[in-house]
Amino acid sequence: MNPHLSMEQLVSYVTGESSASETRALEAHVRTCARCARGLEREAAVEMSLVETASRPQRPRPRRTFAAAVGVAMAACSVLVGITLAKGAPTEAGVHTERDVDAAADSALSPDG
Amino acid sequence: MNQDLWLCLPAFEAAPRAEPSPSLEARALGGDDAAWSALVARHNHRVVVSLLARGIALDVAKDLAQEAWVRLVEQARGGKLGDLKLPGLAVRQAGFLALEWMRRSTLASEPLDESVVDPSQDQEARLEETRRARCVREVLSSSSTSAQRVFQLLYDAGEARTPEQVASELGLSLQRVRQIVCEVRKKLRARWEGS
């Protein structure tokens, strides 16, 4: 006869399925048997992990849909284009000025100049 | 411990599952001692098992579980409990008591050991819990659909069912439900011991 408790007995105890007499016998045994006390601790840990995992269902990660991603990208592009236009859009006067500067530089560098 | 208060709580025998927990919890919060008795009878074993899982010896676990219930009843009577969700609240209360007990025990045996107040120990325990929870999810997700359903019903956070109820609900034999439970637990143990 096996002097130790079976896995089924330990599982039955931690899940609360043992009868009153089985519970008393198991408890009396683990008080004097270190090996079975460790087995009980392990099964209790398995049980509590199952309980805790069930009580804290994993929250689904927020999923960014393709359309939302495209929208965000387009909005970002619009902002960038807007900023670029606002900063760098040359006025008519600016264009002339730059051309004038270039022309002046060209003429200064030309051997005829 | 407040022995007078403890005397009003029942001996822990198998509890009838007639009244749903939320109804009992509401009555207990309202000061109904019979509701408290029914809740203790229904959930005390889970509280004891939660302490065994922390490596607490059986007799100490039973004492700490009793103490946890007494404190909850006192808090409810003092109007300090706005909500009562069991067995979670009792398990947490027992967990705090277990930490206190472990610290006291370690201090008594090793007064110079600074590790007893090391907060990283709690952090390690949380990491271990997270690792184990991940193992559980991985093992369950790799199990058959019927096994997943069995565990979903057995460990339903709202109102867990007995294996008999699960078997009846899913149209399986009780033997098959027990077999599924054993198989999944075996895989879990193997994962824990292997990692």
Q: Please tell me which of the candidates A7, A48, A57 has its beta carbon nearest to residue B49.
A: A48
Q: Which amino acid is at B144?
A: S
pLDDT beneath 50, residues of chain B: 1, 3, 7-8, 10-16, 112-117
Tell me if B8 sits within 8 A of B37, measured CB to CB.
Answer: yes
Tell me if B65 sits within 8 A of B48, measured CB to CB.
Answer: yes
Say whether pTM exceeds 0.80: no
Residues contacting B44, CB < 8 A, separation 6+: B12, B65, B69, B90
Q: Which residue of A has its CA nearest to B152?
A: A54
Residue B187 is given by DSSP the state H
Average pLDDT along chain A: 75
- CA dist., res. B194 & res. B138, Å (int): 14
- Which band of pLDDT confidence, cut at 50, 70 and 90, is reported for residue A101? very low
User: CA angle at residue B143 from B138 to B147, to 5 degrees?
Assistant: 120
| Interface with chain B: mutation pick from A50, A59, A61, highest number of B CBs within 10 Å | A50
- Which band of pLDDT confidence, cut at 50, 70 and 90, is reported for residue A2? low
Tell me if A26 sits within 8 A of A13, measured CB to CB.
Answer: yes
Q: What is the ipTM of this complex?
A: 0.79
Chain B positions contacting chain A at CB under 8 Å are: 13-14, 45-46, 49-50, 52-53, 55, 57-59, 88, 129, 132-133, 135-137, 140, 151-152, 154-157, 162-163, 181-182, 185, 188-189, 192
- CA dist., res. B54 & res. B63, Å (int): 14
